[in-house]
Amino acid sequence: MSTFNGTIRMALATKADEEVGYELVNLLESIDRGDYVAADVDGEAEDDWFDEDDINHHKALHARLKKIADQSGALWRILGGWSCITNPKNALLDLSKDTVDFHPRIAAAAELLQFAQLVLRGIESGHVKATPFLDFSDANAESIPMRSIGDAARAVIAKATGEQA
């Protein structure tokens, strides 16, 4: 049996996909309340309550479900995206919470960015002395030239903010 190590990329759900999801949820809530379901979302309800013995009510419900099923790719993108977001291996959300909160690793990233910016300001102002160092996170560290902490801070800040280093 093979194993997969890494992260999975999933197509991002669009606003239109979200609307399909909400349409399905609203339809299910209508069914749960016993409301009549018009064949078209914008259609006028002929009756107030869904009559399980009326074939026309079933046809209207089927038409609405068929319309949603025709856009089932949207539901797959919504559910697949949520599965990727909640996958513990991806460490995006703090799954120990009952609310949608960033994983502590991601939450700490903003603090690390602020720290890097503080260090860089200290170096650039001359208040912090920055000695060169080797980056041992690379297997070929011996071949990497020594660089300054300021250069490292600039690179991290650029990566985090999308700015040029």
Q: Give the span between the Cα atoms of 87 and 127, in whole angstroms.
A: 43
pLDDT > 60? residue 55: yes
Residue 4 lies in a domain: no
Q: Model pTM greater than 0.75?
A: no
Q: What is the 3-state secondary structure (H, E, C) of 37-61?
A: CCCCCCCCCCCCECCCCCHHHHHHH
Any domain includes 131: yes
87 vs 157: CA distance, rounded Å: 27
pLDDT at 129 over 80: no
Residue 86 and residue 117 in one domain: no
- Structure tokens given for 19: 């609307």
Determine the structural domain holding residue 125 and report its residue range.
Answer: 104-161
> Cα torsion at 121, 116, 163, 106 (round to 10°)?
-150
What is the DSSP-derived secondary structure letter of residue 102? B
Best CA proximity match to 145, nearest among 134, 137, 156: 134
Q: What is the mean pLDDT of the chain?
A: 82
Q: How confident is the model at residue 42 (pLDDT cuts 50, 70, 90)?
A: low
Confirm whether 8 is domain-assigned.
Answer: no
Residue 70 φ/ψ region, left for φ over 0, alpha for ψ in the -120 to 50 degree band, beta for the rest: alpha
**Is 97 among the domain residues?**
no
Per the structure, how many domains does the chain have? 2
Q: Quote the CA–CA distance of 151 and 133 in Å, as a whole number.
A: 11
The verdict on 70 and 115 lying in the same domain is no
Kindly indicate the confidence band of residue 44, based on its pLDDT and cuts at 50, 70 and 90.
low
Give tens-digit pLDDT for 19-33. 999 999 999 999 999
86 and 110 fall within a common domain: no
**Do 74 and 115 lie in a common domain?**
no
Is 131 a residue whose pLDDT tops 90? no
